[in-house]
Structure 1
Amino acid sequence: MKAARLYGKQDLRLEEVPMPEVKPGEVLIKVKAVGICGSDLSRYTKLGPKFPEKGPLVWGHEFSGEVAEVGEGVTSYKAGDHVTACPALPCFECEYCKKGEYARCMTLEVIGAVRDGAFAEYIALPERNLVPLPKSVSFEQAALIEPTCVCFHGLYKLNMQPGDDVAVMGCGPIGLLAIQSAKVFGAKRIIAIDIMEEKLEWAKACGATDVVLSKIDDYDSARNGVLDVTNGRGVDVVIESGGTPVTSAQVLGLGCKGAKVLYLGIPYGDITIPREYFEKIGRSELTIYGAWNAIQQGFPGKPWTSVVAFLEKGMLDFSPIITHRYPLDEIEEVFKANYERKTLFGKILFFPEGVEK
């Protein structure tokens, strides 16, 4: 079968590889749609494989597909079922896993890092990682369930309330999904912040009620924009989804007294926080939340069943977020173009069976 394996920084190769072995308790899935995660781009551009000593592995972890074969002992699925899958691989044995806190697993890993992932025609995974899909939900939409679950996991942690005002810093795919998630959770006002006007247009299409064009050369522009929109109050919930050292500091200045700040982005660099912003934690009595992955009790947990239900009811729609669709055959060129910043991307999806013209 065809699959894309990561050999090193800027070294992703589409190759012919053996079909996955279906072990007892596992399910073979024919991949229908698979997306690029922001973490994929960071590994491609800066970091390379997490465990290079394991050799090149099939990459990718945001996907949907159809059950092709079930292994011995599998009882919940049959050939032809539509599924997505949680890519997380907790140990289920450490102190955190035993409490159902799987996102805190001592040895938590994901597919594509320690076992083959989904940039391929087929993938095999344990039965417990699969999530069933109603056939009314398209494979294209279902490929974005995993990153949306990341947002839901964070919002469940901070116990967001209907009527809250929310600011989302950074309008890449995770930020756009956070906007849709906040809307489903009942946000009254959603303020989207980014340095690119094009991304703010995407944010409005996803449900942002207000937008703030931040400026690279004006550190306080995000805060001032939010204060203007909220008449000097600030917001109840702040979501950092930009994943940069600057935005990771700026978000501390956007909340009202007692606001909740949720970090979803991953800044691959050291963060310097101006004193005025850092003091907001104490002086405004902020509560800071970190959210990692998308797994909770009842593995993979409530975010997964919730996102599937909202998709089925039409309360989530990822169409404005998906900007590019390619056959899997073009994956090398697409990653290279993204690295060279030749195109402005939202969410990129690959289709192993090809893209309908």
Structure 2
Amino acid sequence: MKTKAVRLYGKMDLRLEEFELPEIQDDEILVKIITDSICMSTYKAAKLGSDHKRVPKNIAQEPIIVGHETAGIIEKVGAKWAHRYKVGAKFALQPALNYKGSMASPGYSYRYCGGAATYAIMPHEVMELDCLLEYKGDAFFMASLAEPMSCIIGAFHASYHTTMGSYEHKMGTLPGGTMAILAGAGPMGLGAISYALQLEHRPRRLVVTDIDDGRLARAASLFPPAEQKKRGVDLVFINTATISDPVARLIELNEGTGYDDVFVFAPVAPVVEQGDAILGKDGCLNFFAGPVDSQFSAKVNFYNIHYGATHIVGTTGGNTDDMREALSLSEQGRINPAVMVTHVGGLDSAAEATLHLPDKPAGKKLVYTGISMPMTAITDFKQLEETDARYARLAVLCDKYQGLWNAEAEQYLLEHWPAI
């Protein structure tokens, strides 16, 4: 059967094409993709091309399908998996495979498996690693966003603290501790805020920094500090670009001491160094944002590492348990990944949106792969209603949910926009 997909041929060379998929093998599964949210990691793969660790060297001859934050419906099941997977079932994908030491991953490495497509073939290793997960929720986009949320969850689980006089590492952020999320008003930072605030032993203080007043205002509207205060969390949003000495101010906000947990959400040396400087005793810095530059570095205070037991960790992606946790928390309403989404579009908008991701900073750009639609900001729906009444309806549906994308809006979109 034919599929339409965005394929990578070389550095910054993404093409939307229609081509024939082969018949699936007995150990493969054919899926219909409904949603794929665009990740900065896909931009990095496009920028680096075959220099990327996960991208094959021969993409000029055998291009790969991009996209890995994927959800949809199982269309056809190979005989090997007939006992386990059912046609018509909804799925979410955990793309962070580790199959026999290979770095191959959907959205980076496969000719016929990637999220920016109408149909794709799941290779046998996805099922063997239990990475094709059942999704029981209503909205497909929430299943797509479970993947970036799993990366956030994995980062929280990878942070750790120590016990003086022993060699025991206590995994996870410090219960009831103090936390700073630097460069945290972007999509992944908002996801991290949502996750941190739902923890049973949430931090007693959470400081979120950014350098954009608009992003900070949106974050504060989504997570009102007054409401969090009632739940025992001192939540503070601060623009460090307007402060002459950000480190001193951040320490002051934490009652004159360093933080237990610091997350860095931008691969910017001064931000990393800022995070290192505000660590308290036994403080853990989690470098979340992956750089494009393989030589990226920043200064670290080794005096504090030695005498203050500060430490640094970094993660890339989450594992299957993290993905299941993300799906479960979303289904329970304990986290709301929709806070990450600011734009919605069809498959015909995906290539351009990916290539210009850093040029047009915003939240997550969500792609509905079966429709044709320009990549459109949710905040522009009302303006566009003058020329297209469908946008007026989307605006009303989003206004019902604090201006956020939601299951009702998704259903309306799928019913009223033309097929790609």
Distance of 1:27 and 1:182 partners within structure 2: 36
- Alignment counterpart, residue 294 of structure 1, candidates 299, 314, 318: 318
**Secondary structure of the structure 1 residue equivalent to 2:14:** strand
**Secondary structure of the structure 2 residue equivalent to 1:29:** strand
Distance apart, 1:278 and its partner CA = 4.6
Distance 1:279 1:38, change over 3 A: farther
**Secondary structure of the structure 1 residue equivalent to 2:249:** helix
The structure with more radius of gyration: 2
- Alignment counterpart, residue 277 of structure 2, candidates 224, 229, 253: 253
**Secondary structure of the structure 2 residue equivalent to 1:233:** coil
1:173 and 2:174 correspond: no
Deviates more, 1:106-115 or 1:143-152: 106-115
1:114 and 2:114 correspond: no
Cα pair 2:174 2:260 within 8 Å, conserved: no
- Alignment counterpart, residue 352 of structure 1, candidates 356, 369, 374: 369
Write the deviation string for residues 186-208 of structure 1: whole angstroms up to 9, x where unpaired: 22222111122222234334547
Cα pair 1:179 1:206 within 8 Å, conserved: no
Distance apart, 1:283 and its partner CA = 3.5
1:224 and 2:248 correspond: yes
**Secondary structure of the structure 1 residue equivalent to 2:80:** coil
Alignment correspondent of 1:143: 144
- Read off the aligned partner of 2:239 and give its amino acid letter: L
**Secondary structure of the structure 1 residue equivalent to 2:20:** coil
Distance apart, 1:21 and its partner CA = 4.0
Distance apart, 1:155 and its partner CA = 1.4
Distance of 2:219 and 2:304 partners within structure 1: 27
Alignment correspondent of 1:12: 14
**Secondary structure of the structure 1 residue equivalent to 2:357:** helix
Distance apart, 1:272 and its partner CA = 5.0
Cα pair 1:248 1:267 within 8 Å, conserved: no
Distance 1:241 1:20, change over 3 A: farther
Distance of 1:336 and 1:164 partners within structure 2: 39
Map 1:183-262 onto structure 2 (within 5 A): 183-185=197-199, 186-207=202-223, 209-215=235-241, 220-221=245-246, 223-262=247-286
Gaps of 5+ in 1: 93-105
Alignment correspondent of 2:92: 84
Alignment correspondent of 2:395: none
Deviates more, 1:304-313 or 1:260-269: 260-269
Distance apart, 1:23 and its partner CA = 2.4
Distance apart, 1:230 and its partner CA = 0.9
Distance apart, 1:83 and its partner CA = 0.9
Deviates more, 1:106-115 or 1:27-36: 106-115
Distance apart, 1:325 and its partner CA = 0.3
Distance apart, 1:64 and its partner CA = 0.9
1:68 and 2:87 correspond: no
Cα pair 2:263 2:286 within 8 Å, conserved: yes
Map 1:268-287 onto structure 2 (within 5 A): 268-269=292-293, 270-271=295-296, 273-274=298-299, 277-287=301-311
C-alpha root-mean-square deviation of aligned residues, in Å? 2.3
Cα pair 1:245 1:267 within 8 Å, conserved: no
Distance of 2:22 and 2:209 partners within structure 1: 43
Deviates more, 1:319-328 or 1:148-157: 148-157
- Read off the aligned partner of 1:233 and give its amino acid letter: T
- Read off the aligned partner of 2:326 and give its amino acid letter: V
Distance of 1:164 and 1:283 partners within structure 2: 20
Cα pair 1:27 1:71 within 8 Å, conserved: yes
Distance of 2:9 and 2:137 partners within structure 1: 36
Distance of 2:79 and 2:279 partners within structure 1: 52
Cα pair 1:253 1:280 within 8 Å, conserved: no
Distance of 1:345 and 1:286 partners within structure 2: 33
- Alignment counterpart, residue 196 of structure 2, candidates 178, 182, 187: 182
Cα pair 1:64 1:142 within 8 Å, conserved: yes
Distance apart, 1:37 and its partner CA = 0.9
Distance apart, 1:305 and its partner CA = 1.8
Gaps of 5+ in 2: 160-171, 226-234, 374-412
Cα pair 1:86 1:129 within 8 Å, conserved: yes
Alignment correspondent of 1:162: 175
Alignment correspondent of 1:314: 333
- Read off the aligned partner of 2:12 and give its amino acid letter: Q
Distance apart, 1:152 and its partner CA = 1.0
Q: How many residues are matched? A: 332
Distance apart, 1:319 and its partner CA = 2.0
